[in-house]
């Protein structure tokens, strides 16, 4: 009897040790064997510094919460540097981990995901174009790190905005956490939802202006002010952040151009500034792949109602530049998800994102964003170089599914 107890105890202990070994070392082993986990290598000439900055004393009333009277923001700044990365940087904070991956030992599972960023690196002297970025509704800038760091490596300062009370989670320096509010209105397809989202769009547009104001020498972003070429200020975003970027052009004259990456368009484009729209061929994806997928279908109804490219916009006096990605779903523009897909295919798969690898999506979208802003967005009107990018990648075409220029 005693021997059986000892044997069972030994089996249990060995099992626990094996489980602990898998949990603690599995991610590194798999990452090394498969060559996955690390973000795509930087393609630009610069290293990329990173700072997380708290913007307060904005003078703008907080309209979404009674926790504070004044609007406050947390922003992520990606910028050119010439320092060499010597150590790894935490990718997701503890709060973000609990929100996006509420699993035991999540910090060990995500350890292989390493951005190419150097925390608090010294900025390289010079002047650079500025791009302000906004994610989709309930999203956080951190999930686009693989894209934003690439753009910064090409000689841009990129400031990603986490919009409190519409982002999934925003943690302030004092430990206060702002989570998404009014989710019933957020996704409502009726008139109440329409009204609420237009209200949110106005708030996000105001947030973009707050960020620019903070570049003043006395502002929280004052250290970056002298590094910004104030004649080259653009704004772009994904999904709701993309449509808010277009709205920003009509309200703040300091912005010269905008790019909307697969975002709904609520209003007419009542300005003549350079504008680009990047689309997924999501309707084709729905028609061919996911007609009967119950989890995807509600989003299909959303996209049918809020057509990404209303015909009236194409008939406007100032037409935007339109580019479409083949075989990608709306969520596929959240580039870090594609990195996760290659590492964790049993959790994240093609049905969620589309059929592109992380490298090809990150590199192609970086080239499109950088080339368009440098050669069209900043009023140089040189579309030949943008055409060269389109010709380089056979999964991008000019125009929409219905009027594509092949």
Task: Give residue-wise pLDDT tens across range 158-205.
Answer: 999 999 999 999 999 988 999 999 988 888 878 888 889 899 999 999
Sign of the Cα torsion 63, 65, 71, 77 reads negative
CB 271: neighbour CB atoms within 10 A?
17
Average pLDDT over the chain reads 81
pLDDT (mean) for 60-88: 91
Report the predicted TM-score, pTM, of the whole model to 2 decimal places: 0.86
| Buried-exposed string 6-37: b where 16+ CB fall within 10 A, e elsewhere | eeeeeeeeeeeeeeeeeeeeebeeebeeeebb
Name the residue among 100, 118, 122 with its Cα closest to residue 109. Answer: 100
Name the residue among 226, 182, 207 with its Cα closest to residue 61. Answer: 207
| Fold of the domain built from segment(s) 36-398 | Rossmann fold (3.40.50)
CA distance 88 to 361: 24
**179 or 265: which leads in pLDDT:** 179
pLDDT at 88: 72
Name the residue among 35, 33, 121 with its Cα closest to residue 77. Answer: 121
CA distance 286 to 300: 7
pLDDT digits (tens, 9 = 90+) for 120-134: 999 999 999 999 999
pLDDT (mean) for 249-268: 86
**39 or 152: which leads in pLDDT:** 152
pLDDT at 134: 98
Q: What single string gives the DSSP state of each residue in 263-294?
A: ----S-----S-EEEEEE-HHHHHHHT-TT-T
Name the residue among 15, 394, 47, 55 with its Cα closest to residue 207. Answer: 55
pLDDT digits (tens, 9 = 90+) for 47-63: 999 999 999 988 999 99
pLDDT at 357: 84
pLDDT at 103: 61
pLDDT (mean) for 249-261: 93
Select the highest-mean-pLDDT range: 46-55, 292-301, 378-387. 46-55
- Does pLDDT of 24 surpass 50? no
Backbone angles phi, psi at 142, to 5 degrees: -55, -30
- Does pLDDT of 1 surpass 80? no
- Does pLDDT of 207 surpass 50? yes
CB 246 within 8 A of CB 313: no
- Does pLDDT of 232 surpass 90? yes
Cβ burial, residue 185 (10 Å; 0-12/13-18/19+): middle
pLDDT (mean) for 83-100: 79
Sign of the Cα torsion 20, 94, 201, 159 reads negative
pLDDT (mean) for 334-356: 74
pLDDT band at residue 6 under the 50/70/90 scheme:
low
pLDDT band at residue 110 under the 50/70/90 scheme:
low
CA distance 279 to 401: 9
pLDDT at 34: 40
CA distance 38 to 293: 31
Domain positions in the chain are 36-398
Tokens for 196, please give them: 């609420």
């Amino acid at each position: 009897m005693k021997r059986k107890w000892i044997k069972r105890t030994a089996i249990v202990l060995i099992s626990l040790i094996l489980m602990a070994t898998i949990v603690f070392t599995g991610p590194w082993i798999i990452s090394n064997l498969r060559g996955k986990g690390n973000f795509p290598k930087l393609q630009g000439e610069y290293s990329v510094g990173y700072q997380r900055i708290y913007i307060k004393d904005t003078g703008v009333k907080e309209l979404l919460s009674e926790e504070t009277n004044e609007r406050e923001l947390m922003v992520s700044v990606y910028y050119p540097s010439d320092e060499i990365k010597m150590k790894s940087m935490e990718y997701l904070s503890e709060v973000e981990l609990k929100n996006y991956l509420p699993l035991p030992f999540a910090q060990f599972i995500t350890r292989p995901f390493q951005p190419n960023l150097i925390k608090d690196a010294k900025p390289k002297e010079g002047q650079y174009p500025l791009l302000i970025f906004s994610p989709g509704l309930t999203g956080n800038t951190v999930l686009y790190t693989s894209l934003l760091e690439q753009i910064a490596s090409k000689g841009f300062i990129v400031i990603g905005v986490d919009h409190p009370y519409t982002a999934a989670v925003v943690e302030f320096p004092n430990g206060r956490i702002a989570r998404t509010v009014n989710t019933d209105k957020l996704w409502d397809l009726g008139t109440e939802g329409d009204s609420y989202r237009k209200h949110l769009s106005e708030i996000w547009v105001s947030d973009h202006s707050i960020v620019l104001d903070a570049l003043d020498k006395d502002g929280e972003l004052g250290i970056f002010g002298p590094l910004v070429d104030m004649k080259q200020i653009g704004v772009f975003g994904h999904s709701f952040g993309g449509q808010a970027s277009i709205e920003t052009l009509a309200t703040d004259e300091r912005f010269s151009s905008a790019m909307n990456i697969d975002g709904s368009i609520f209003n007419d484009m009542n300005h003549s500034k350079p504008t680009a729209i990047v689309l997924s061929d999501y309707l084709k994806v729905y028609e061919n792949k996911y007609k009967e997928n119950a989890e995807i279908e509600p989003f299909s109804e959303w996209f049918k109602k809020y057509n990404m490219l209303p015909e009236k916009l194409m008939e406007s006096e100032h037409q935007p530049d339109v580019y479409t990605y083949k075989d990608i779903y709306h969520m596929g523009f959240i580039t870090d998800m594609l990195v996760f897909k290659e590492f964790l295919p049993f959790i994240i798969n093609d049905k969620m994102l589309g059929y592109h690898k992380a490298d090809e999506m990150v590199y192609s979208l970086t080239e499109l964003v950088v080339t368009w802003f440098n050669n069209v967005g900043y009023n140089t009107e040189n579309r030949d170089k943008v055409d060269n990018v389109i010709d380089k990648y056979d999964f991008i075409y000019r125009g929409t599914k219905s009027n594509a220029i092949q």
